[in-house]
Structure formats: structure tokens, C-alpha cells
Amino acid sequence: MDLILWRHAKAKNPEGAEADTDRELTARGRRQAEKLAEWLRAQPLRDVAVLSSPAKRALQTAQTLGLPVKVKTQLGVGASTADLLGAVDWPDHAGAVIVVGHQPTLGRLASLLLAGTEADWTIKKGGIWWFTNRVRLDETQTVLRAVLCP
């Protein structure tokens, strides 16, 4: 299984009565998302599922891929690592899952996958962390394949 954690790109600052989940990408954020989407489309991923937080900025980031996007409430702001793992069916999903979500949850999941414990690791806005789960010599391994920042 390939699991790609993609933090939403740069969004507008909250102003006035605007709800946090209604914040849109800035022009810079759109460029960031498009640049990383182009990179993702060039990768040898198979059976790709794109899952997004319902927050507008995450959904806009995910849509730059040009693939169908499934919105999952369990990926929203304040989600837990258990929510994310359940939503993506790690490590049993066949193919690749791209999750577009938020900090601090994405960083905590990256820490859990690599270090075995949750810690507040940072994934930059628009950044991608790509993990692969594999079995070698009857041992399950998590491999970090790539980290990209826009």
C-alpha cells in the first residue's frame, strides 16, 4: 500500500465571521497545489483513491489532481491519527491512497508510522509525505519514499 499524506496548501487567513472550514486557498496556495499535483500525477501509483477533509482549502488542494475526490468527515480539522488510519484502511488497502488534510494530525500520523509513537512533527503547508507498507522476510515494514515541500 502507498499512503500519501498531503497537507492542504496555503489558505486565506480567517477574517471576521468566516468559518475555519470555509477558508479558501490563496493564489500562492493554488500554485503550490498545482505544482505538487503535477509531481504526483507523474508517479507510478496504481489504483489511486483521493480522500479529503471537508474543509474547503483541503478539498481545493485535492481537486488539483484532476481525479475523483471522496470527502471524509473523519479527515477534518481536529481528526485523530486513529481516524485517519481507519479512513485509509492502513496498511490493508490495495493500491494508493492520497489523504489531503491538516496539521497537527498529519504530522502525528507521520511520526506514528516512522517512529512508532505520536509526536508533533511538522508537515509544511502544501507538503507531501509518501509512505509504502511492504513485507520483507516475513516482517512488515513502513518505508518513507519521498518528502516534498512546494
Tell me what pLDDT residue 16 has: 62
- Give me the phi and psi of 70, to 5 degrees please: -105, 120
Residue whose entry in the numeric block shows the C-alpha cell 483541503: 58
Q: What is the pLDDT along the chain (150 residues), one digit of tens a residue?
A: 999 999 999 999 877 657 888 999 999 999 999 999 999 999 999 999 999 999 999 999 999 999 999 999 999 999 999 999 999 988 888 899 999 999 999 999 999 999 999 999 999 999 999 999 988 888 888 999 999 998
105-115 and 81-88 are packed helices; what angle lies between their axes, rounded to 10 degrees? Answer: 80
Burial state string for 125-135 with b = 16 or more CB within 10 A and e = fewer than 16: bbbbbbbbbee
Q: Where are the beta strands (DSSP E) in the chain?
A: 2-7, 48-52, 69-71, 96-101, 128-136, 139-148
Tell me what pLDDT residue 139 has: 85
Tell me what pLDDT residue 35 has: 97
